[in-house]
Structure 1
Amino acid sequence: MTLPQGRDFRPPWPLTSGHIQTMLSSSGLRRKLLPAHAYRVLEGAETVMVDGGDGVRLTGAFTAQQGRPSARGLAVLFHGWEGSVDSTYVLQTGSRLLAEGWDVFRLNFRDHGDSHALNEALFHSCRIDEVVNAVDDIARRWPSRAMALAGFSLGGNFALRVAMQAPARGIPLHYALAVCPIIDPGEGLFSLEETAPWFYQAYFMNKWRRSLRAKQAAFPHREYFELQELKQSLRGLTEALVLRHTDFGSLEAYLDGYSVAGRTLMGMQIPASILTARDDPVIPVDAFEKLDLPANVELDIASYGGHCGFIRGWDMTSFCDDYIAARFNAMAG
């Protein structure tokens, strides 16, 4: 069986632009133009609460496949920063996997989607333990002969870290796939500020400020931030919240806390794949090229695709669906 490769993705002009790919990936236009089958994972979806350990509660949505006598396996999907279980790329991938015969679980990270009121402490990217615990709970509640995980952007970073810990925790995870994951957060944060066009930072900052205000409204007795802090840059606000709400002591220590750069992934015990694009304007490709990886981790750098785009044409469907589905199906045999 020949699996699709990043080099196979050759979109027509002007989708050869990484900026157009990136802007379209989460746009309202894409959501309107996608065919109806891209939302099929919403049909019969069950909203559930999962256990993150130590009293932490995370929300998600489970959809059982209906096309086969038994499911190929359980697919778990992670959204990106300030995304949710209802992000377009999550729905589209989930719908494709559902059609391929997978049961699908879409997980919200803390303070994503409409979950701000569930846990008093703020989300940050080093909260890996609660995500590992949630995946463990999902595996126990929906046992399957095969379990695979896919994540996008920050969700891809989480997917790789969960996969690193899964064997030691006894979680029956068989495969992980990360699309445009954050590799070196320090480099990625500085790139978004210093080299990426201004509108990317504006987009993420607007969504983050809205999320922080929702958190403050959910817990009015807490002071999560000062109003002046919300006016700071991405780096400034991140540093202010790290110093106020974590024990890391510095922005640099926090960013190192969720890095998977260098040789970090050499300890990966299960098969994994990383798909990224050379023209991604958000996550620099240099960080991928510097990775030291074991033989069971596939690194695939496409020429095109932008940040989590990989949009094939004006129907707005994504090459990622073919890529993920083919690898999940091959893993499940």
Structure 2
Amino acid sequence: MLGLTYFSALLLIILVAQGAVVQSKDKEKSTSLLQDPQNQCGDFCLSKLHPMMDLIPETNSKLDRIHGEQQSIQMKLQAVQSTLEASVQTNADSQMLAIQQRLNRMEEKLMAISSDMKNQLQLLLTKMTDQQTSMQSQMDAQLLAVKKVLEDQKIAPEPLSSETNLNITEGQLPMTETKIENQPEEFQSTTENNHLLETQTTIKSNTIDPKFELVGSRYFYFGHDNRKSWLEAAETCHQMGGFLAAFKTEEELIAVMGKLESGFINFYWTGINDLKEDGQLISAASGKPATILKWREIEPTNSGPCVLLDIWGMIRNSCSFRAFFICQADNEF
């Protein structure tokens, strides 16, 4: 068995050696240089080149086929490029058209907004003009009312005597005079004169607006329902046949304060003011200096020309402030 192994190895070595010798000889033959190629090559060269020459047409055919395929691919690429360019151009045109449409819509909206703003500005200007006209009219009316109040204060009549102190309206005065004229005989005696005084007192009570109430010896109206400016309150009192109130005595003032509604902002206009001369407080009813005053702790201040009253006392304020009000039926004080 061991001998067979040695024999196989030896045989393999011999075969390898022979192959190397043959290869060396072939190499020497293939690398030999030709001194006369045209005569030395001959049929041997043709035999070696002929297979290669047979491959030339096939190679040319393959090259032509490859060239045709390249041209076809190039044409396809050009077609794809044209399609892409057309698509891009179409998309660009579509987008440009959409953008243009959006711009047109935005322009229309801006024009609509501009028109609406112009209309609103015109309307606002119209309202401001109307408000200015209305405010001017109100200011003119207030100025006229102030002038009227000042004139009333300036020409306020002196207090009437106890026998003729009647607070009656113009429509009721002829009626009173008629009743007096119809009783001429009553003036002929003291008893008849006393009776006339009683009649006059009765007439005076009947001519006062029933909304007034007796506080002490005088009649007052308390406007608890509506808040008004000083001028509006004065006009309301005039329409009721009275005046914004001033006070005869401290006791009367305290009694009136007891009729007021309590509350932090429940103020009442009085007729006391210094509209005519700064610092000279007078009564709107009589035009006389107001002597009965009851200021709150921080008063008087120069906060305004008109005087308000609440359950704690008096304060000064702007005449445009809106508050309740107190009217008096007479013009004595």
- Fold match, TM over 0.5? no
Structure with more helix by fraction: 2
User: Which gives a bigger RCO, structure 1 or 2 (Cα 8 Å, sep 6+)?
Assistant: 1
Name the TM tier (shorter chain): under 0.3
With normalisation by structure 2, the TM-score equals 0.22
Larger Rg: 2
